[in-house]
Amino acid sequence: MESSFAIIAEPHRRAILSLLLSSERSVGDLERELRLSQPSVSKHLRVLRDAGFVESRIEAQRRLYRLRPEPLMEVDEWLIPFRRFWSKHLDALEQHLDKMDKVPPAKGRKKHEQP
Amino acid sequence: MESSFAIIAEPHRRAILSLLLSSERSVGDLERELRLSQPSVSKHLRVLRDAGFVESRIEAQRRLYRLRPEPLMEVDEWLIPFRRFWSKHLDALEQHLDKMDKVPPAKGRKKHEQP
DNA sequence: CGGGTATATACCTCCGTGAGTATATATCCA
DNA sequence: TGGATATATACTCACGGAGGTATATACCCG
């Protein structure tokens, strides 16, 4: 019951997902491409599969893993209000930076601003 | 130098970011809203600030924290190729959006708001 | 100045997790 | 059938991170 966010916090798992973007791969493929031990790859794939990020099909002794969209879509949806936020504020930010660029810091003296 | 993904893997930190969407808040505000000890809140804010997710301004003895857009934009960018991927799987997309839809299905196709 | 408030830091503990080695399971082929 | 290949699981270890308590720091106001 880990959140999708926790799942993709792991760099190797993000790498796996990115690799699977182009085509499905076997555990051995990923092992070589990630330069990680086979059990580690298998365990990451287990986590990803339990969370619905990937699914596998069997071909002979191999298991071919491929992407599934749903969990990352949840992450994408969590970002929606933040996208609204930064599209609202980016203009103001640019204006602000622009002003800082032209006007030297003339305001009241700056004290310790290191919280 | 933790990745933005690791930062937002922590549920309390995501909660902080969501709260800051509506308005800036002091540590005490967040402490009450999260029901977390003050030092824990401060530590999460420290992590968020070091990673650029928030910034603070001083008002009397309080520190008011507000959102900064950049780090979440990086996350958003990482998702771009995956969005392309799942837009190829329109069936699953429709299913998912239908499930998310609060309004009972109107006749025929529905339209979903999208930024 | 001194007491009250607000926040940050130090220190400790506990738990989860990622990595590795060794082993089990499964499938193919000669 | 037996050996080779491919993947999964069991077990262990070490490290980091999140939480709490206690304390330091900073600012306000009477």
Count the alpha carbons within 13 Å of B105 in the hemisphere toward its beta carbon.
9
* Protein CA at A89 to nucleotide C1' at C17, angstroms: 38
pLDDT of residue A61: 92
Taking contacts as CB-CB distances below 8 angstroms, the residues of chain B near A81 are 18, 21
Structural Rg of chain B based on CA atoms: 18
* CA pair distance B67, A82, nearest whole angstrom: 9
In this model, does residue A34 exceed pLDDT 70? Answer: yes
CATH number for the domain formed by residue range(s) A1-102: 1.10.10.10
Sign of the C-alpha dihedral computed for residues A5, A6, A9 and A13 taken in this order: negative
Which is more confident, A101 or A25? A25
What's the confidence (pLDDT) of residue B93?
A: 57
Using a 7 Å cut-off to protein CB atoms, list the covered nucleotides of chain C. Answer: 4-10, 17-22, 26-28
Distance between CA atoms of residues A59 and A26, nearest Å: 9
Sign of CA dihedral A28, A34, A39, A45: negative
The alpha carbon of residue A10 is apart from the nearest alpha carbon of chain B, in Å, by 7
Q: Looking at residues A92-102, what average pLDDT do you find?
A: 65
Q: Which of A36, A65, A75 is nearest to B78 (CA)?
A: A75
Cα nearest neighbour of B42 on chain A: A115
**pLDDT (0 to 100) of residue A108:** 33
Q: Where along chain A do its domains lie? A: 1-102
Yes or no, beta carbons of A77 and B89 under 8 Å apart: no
Mean pLDDT of all residues belonging to chain A? 85
Q: What's the pLDDT at B86?
A: 84
pTM above 0.85, yes or no: no
For the cut 60, the answer to whether the pLDDT of residue A66 exceeds it is yes
**B4-70 domain in CATH 3.80.10.10?**
no
Residues of B in contact with A8 (CB under 8 A): 5, 9
Q: Which residues pair with B58 in a beta bridge?
A: B63
Res A86: pLDDT: 83
pLDDT in tens, chain B (115 residues): 579 999 999 999 999 999 999 999 999 999 999 999 999 999 999 999 999 999 999 999 999 999 999 999 999 999 999 999 988 776 655 666 676 665 544 443 434 434 3
